[in-house]
Amino acid sequence: MSWDEAFAHSYEEWSAGMTADVPFYVALAREADGPIVELAIGNGRVAIPVAQATGRRVIGIDTSPAMLAQARDNAEKAGIELELREGDMRDLTLDEPASLIYCPFRALLHLPTWADRRRTFERVAASLRPRGRFAWNAFAFDPQIAASIDGRHQDEPVPHMVRFAVGEDRTDIVLDGGATSSLWWATKNEWLGLLDVAGLELESLAGGFKGEPVGGPGTEYVFVARR
């Protein structure tokens, strides 16, 4: 299982330190002239500021009922409306093409196989308006970081252990208590190959949310593509 429902109970705390991506996705959303979709919306951490900043129709897809319940509560508290749908990003279908589809916080890495990602990219391409954008971020696998944290218990942001299954291209984040979130990493060429097979065009690739160059230690790939 790539996303354990029990992980949802700690997600608010787990994601509290991740704020750098919000202005990036909000800026893209401001440039969108139609519906906006977040794949794997989680608790609405990014979608709520996006909806607040744009006033546009924001649709959020997620497989987890527990995460969708948190998104519903958080949107209500913020006084905004999100269209929340329980579903798998691999089966994305929309009643109206989107002008922006985005997927923050490495959530595409929850898809175990290249075929799962190909299917998702093809569904994204089919769901975008002409020249509509698809944006996502994912870490570049860094063997030095992996070696330094593999199997080491960490207390922050919530007590957990990270384990690397190198032969499987997989990182398991295991919270104390056992809730697990698994991520299957991908190389830059795999991401570019996915764009190619889906008929999408790369607009920009940075190594961080502020346009940092790709390649430094701890690189976070930040992709923007167009249909």
Ligand X SMILES: C[S@@+](CC[C@H](N)C(=O)[O-])C[C@H]1O[C@@H](n2cnc3c(N)ncnc32)[C@H](O)[C@@H]1O
Specify the residue, 75 or 147, whose C-beta has the smaller distance to ligand X. 75
15 binds ligand X (CB under 6 A): yes
Q: How far is the CB of 181 from ligand X (least distance, A)?
A: 7
DSSP characters over 150-205: BT-EE-SSSSEEEEEEGGGTEEEEEETTS-EEEEE---HHHHHHHHHHHT-EEEEE
Q: How far is the CB of 165 from ligand X (least distance, A)?
A: 18
Specify the residue, 77 or 131, whose C-beta has the smaller distance to ligand X. 77
Count of residues that bind ligand X according to CB under 6 A: 21
Subset of residues 105 to 134 that bind ligand X, contact rule: CB under 6 A: 105, 107, 110-111
For residue 175, the tally of other CB atoms under 10 A from its CB is: 18
Q: How far is the CB of 227 from ligand X (least distance, A)?
A: 20
Residue 119, CA distances (Å) to 91, 136, 199 in order: 8, 16, 12
* Contact criterion met (CB below 8 Å) for 164 and 134: no
Q: Which of 36, 37, 41, 59 binds ligand X (CB under 6 A)?
A: 41
Q: Which of 3, 136, 164, 221 binds ligand X (CB under 6 A)?
A: 3
195 binds ligand X (CB under 6 A): no
* Contact criterion met (CB below 8 Å) for 34 and 56: yes
* Per-residue x/- track, 44-73, ligand X (CB under 6 A): -xx--------------xxxx--x------
d(CA 32, CA 148) in angstroms, rounded, equals 41
Buried b (16+ CB within 10 A) or exposed e, 101-118: bbbbbbbbbbbbeeebbb
Which residues of the shown chain bind ligand X in the complex (CB under 6 A)? 2-3, 15, 40-42, 45-46, 61-64, 67, 88-90, 104-105, 107, 110-111
